[in-house]
Amino acid sequence: MVLMQWNEKMSVGVIELDADHKELIKVINRLGTISEDEARRNAIRQSLFALLRYAEYHFAREEKVMAACQYPEIREHKLEHRDFVERINHLHRRFD
């Protein structure tokens, strides 16, 4: 994210000082980039956590229904659920 942009109106009429100000603006803009990256990382981390929590909640409900219906492939389906939770857990841990 560009926070500041140097323009001719900012010139103090001294080449060296203008160069300093341009460098300061570059550093400020670098900070803007870092915080945007961090915000994106936090959003991804939170989304992975929400996915994990909701998947666990849903899978428990679904497994109860499958058991009640005596769904013939319940064992395989439960393993798919475990595998999904493990993969999201792994991604979440890698993010931390």
# of chain residues touching Fe ion (CB under 5 A)? 1
CA angle 43, 45, 49 (to 5 degrees): 115
User: Residue 14 in contact with residue 68, Cβ under 8 Å?
Assistant: no
Closer by beta carbon to Fe ion, 18 or else 62: 62
The full DSSP string for 29-42 is HHHHHHHHHHHHHH
Q: Is 18 in the site for Fe ion (CB under 5 A)?
A: no
Closer by beta carbon to Fe ion, 22 or else 58: 58
Q: Which amino acid is at 80?
A: E
Contact letters for Fe ion, residues 27-66 (x by CB under 5 A): -----------------------------------x----
In the complex, least distance from residue 59 CB atom to Fe ion, rounded to whole angstroms: 7
